[in-house]
Chain A
Amino acid sequence: MDTQWPRFEVFEQARPGQPHRNAGAVHAPDAEMALQNARDVFVRRPDCASLWVAPEAAIYSRTAEELTAGEAEAGDEHGPTQMYQVFQKQSQRQAETFVNHLGSVEASSPEAALRQAAEQWGKGAWVWWIVPESAITRSTEAEAASMFAPALNKPYRQPNYYHVQTQMRAVRAHDPDEDEA
């Protein structure tokens, strides 16, 4: 039996107005715990204004390769429309390794949402993620103060707080064993 909890992808917004970008994933039994785990795993260091989580199972993901190789996937054309959030990774270049939020579309299926997204934002993307709005759980503004603000007052969580190199140099300077070596 698989006892692992489901995976949730985590999207972090560093400052208000910036796009949410994928920070990684957490395991959690449900969305509320996923949001809390996301906070604890990814917001130990400052600069977070908002978090979103979405179950990996709900994310429709296609790479550029898959889109060119495979036939266009039809999807349900007659179902009721709903809102999808669109995320995109621009390329494989190291500076562009994040899956960023672009905006939302209304569509009757994730496949239709992806076609719409490609028209709107161009086909140059390396990876697309299409996430139903209904699958996303967000931190609220009211929660932000207790979830994110305290991290700003914790310089001791930053590695540069400890001046380890300076102290090691001082120790070495006085260590006779070090002189012999």
Chain B
Amino acid sequence: MIAPPHPALAPQLLALADDELILGHRDSEWCGHAPILEEDIAFANLAQDELGHAALWYRLVEQLSQARPDHLVFFRQAKHYRCAQLVTLPKGDWAYAMLRQFLFDAAEAVRLPGLAASRYAPLAETAAKIQTEEIYHLRHTRAWVRRLGLGTEESHRRMQAALDALWPYALQLFVPLTDEAALTAAGLVPAAAAMQQEWEALAGATLHDAGLVIPAGAEAVAQDRREIGPHLPGLLDEMQAVARLEGPEVGW
């Protein structure tokens, strides 16, 4: 175990890991169901990438807290997860899935450069590694958002409905965690408020190009990640079912 540079760092990284894991799981639900074969493969790739990123963050959590990644993923109850509610939402239609992934990728595009400048070297290195791949994710989802937003009347209507529904959830990605301000002050993670501004500009430009309107006056759906929302327990029941059946001692 590495001496943590700050006691709040492990919980902060756990939230990052949980976001990636649960989004990756939701994305994986499209495997075999995407609207065209090529995109089925692309979205499954993307889901796998998010799981890979989650694994990297859980490994850092393990170094700081000795909590084993397998245990964190497969034997932790919903109430102890710290993901934003955005990633727990059921997969919806294709516009909804693509827009959620886009909003998340745009958030990553803003967060990762800040994390790559962290004074905690293992965190900085991991963020730099993930950043390369997220550039491609954003390019891919941005291309889809433009085409669906400007496509047919129906694709536009579905995209706008998805944006109206998802925007307040996406705002939660930038609600600071307990003690996050202290981590920022210590140069360990970037400042949440500045990231949110940058994200709104980045995502907003693409949404505007796609003819979509960000709902006015929206607020984050929750202020505390301990409010997990109604969808996570069902997701975990399924995701953890096999591991729980076999028990933690079984080797894979």
Contact residues of A with B, CB < 8 Å?
A: 5, 26-29, 32-33, 36-37, 39-41, 44, 145-147, 149-150, 153-154, 156-157
Contact = CB atoms under 8 A, between A and B. Distances in A.
B45 interface: yes
Nearest to B136: A146
Given A29-B147, A36-B139, A150 B49 contact: yes
Contacts of A33: 143, 147
Nearest to B137: A146
A27 B38 contact: yes
Contacts of B132: 145-146, 149-150
Interface in B107-157: 129, 132-133, 135-136, 139-140, 143, 147
A36 B41 contact: no
B168 interface: no
Given A150-B133, A150-B136, A154-B52, A44 B39 contact: no
Contacts of B135: 145-146
Contacts, number: 45
Contact of A40 (B42, B52, B133, B143): B42
Contacts of A157: 48
Shortest beta-carbon contacts, A-B, top 3: A40-B42, A146-B135, A37-B38
A140 B38 CA distance: 21
Contacts of B37: 27
B242 interface: no
Contacts of A40: 38, 41-42, 45
B42 A32 contact: no
Contact of A36 (B36, B49, B52, B143): B143
Majority secondary structure of chain A interface residues (helix, strand, loop or mixed): helix
A44 B48 CA distance: 11
A39 B45 CA distance: 10
A155 to B, nearest CB: 11
A153 B45 CA distance: 14
B42 A37 contact: yes
Contact of A41 (B38, B129, B136, B143): B38
10 contacts: A28-B38, A29-B147, A36-B143, A40-B41, A146-B132, A147-B136, A149-B132, A150-B133, A150-B136, A154-B52
Nearest to B147: A29
A26 B38 CA distance: 7
Contacts of A145: 132, 135
Contact of A44 (B45, B52, B133): B45
Contacts of B39: 37
Given A27-B36, A41-B38, A41-B41, A36 B140 contact: yes
A72 B164 CA distance: 61
B223 to A, nearest CB: 34
Contacts of B140: 36
A28 B49 CA distance: 22
